[in-house]
Amino acid sequence: MKIAILGIGCPKCKTTEHNVREACKALGINAEITHVYDPREFAKMGVRITPAVVVDGTVLFSGKVPTVEEITEALEKLHS
């Protein structure tokens, strides 16, 4: 599983990345987590508002800081 956090490095983006890592840890998922800082790359993925979370090319969250629980729930749905 590849998870990308999109954002320019603001506190909200950093919190989003932390929450993603915590959710993966809670679920025992060994994901490849990257942080994309380039707005041109955001546009290529169809994201206009950050922070955003993209899992295997699918935008799960955009424009908000998802909680660990929200991320956990979304990742569980992807695995079911």
Give residue 78's pLDDT.
Answer: 86
Could you tell me where the beta strands, DSSP code E, fall in the chain? 2-6, 32-36, 52-55, 58-62
CB-neighbour burial class of residue 39 (10 A; exposed 0-12, middle 13-18, buried 19+): middle
Q: Is 24 a catalytic residue?
A: no
Given 1.10.3470.10, 3.40.30.10, 3.10.580.10, 3.40.50.620, which CATH number is that of 2-79? 3.40.30.10
Q: Considering 3, 4, 5, 13, which one is annotated as catalytic? A: 13
Full-model pTM? 0.94
pLDDT in tens, 10-64: 999 999 999 999 999 999 999 999 999 999 999 999 999 999 999 999 999 999 9
Catalytic residue among 1, 10, 26, 49: 10
- Structural domain spans, the chain: 2-79
Report which residue type is found at 50. Answer: T
